Amino acid sequence: MENQLATQHCRPLPPGTPPLPWPEVRALLESLDPGWRVVDGPCLGREFHSGDYGRLLRLAGGVGDLAQAEDHHPDLELVWGRLSVSVSTHSIGGLSQNDFVLAARIDLLARESSF
């Protein structure tokens, strides 16, 4: 079943938009792949693992293309065996609906790439 968030798109946030309250963060987190965690920042973090560096590089490229299309850019760290993705909305100093939309779309991309 496709996550409804994955059918949405990131949208511009007006100045003064507050971060999502914790109960909403918790509810939205439940709709994502269980690999996602709320980590310091706060931000959403997920790691992808593979012994095939090229496979991780292709996934990172796909995430980059998706980020450009959505105009919402996660931090990516690619090292041998691991791709770390960190998503937050820096302009509001926390998590927004856009972070969960992008995470759900990354989940879809990862499934299509057999992660």
Instruction: Say what the pLDDT of residue 97 is.
Output: 97
26, pLDDT greater than 80: yes
The pLDDT assigned to 2 comes to 60
Report the pLDDT averaged over residues 1-11.
87
Q: What is the pTM of this model?
A: 0.95
Read off the pLDDT band of 1 (50, 70, 90): very low
Side-by-side strand order, sheet with 75-79: 37-39, 43-49, 82-87, 75-79
* Structural domains in the chain, sorted by start: 40-115 (3.30.1360.20)
Q: Give the C-alpha separation, 10 to 72, whole Å.
A: 7
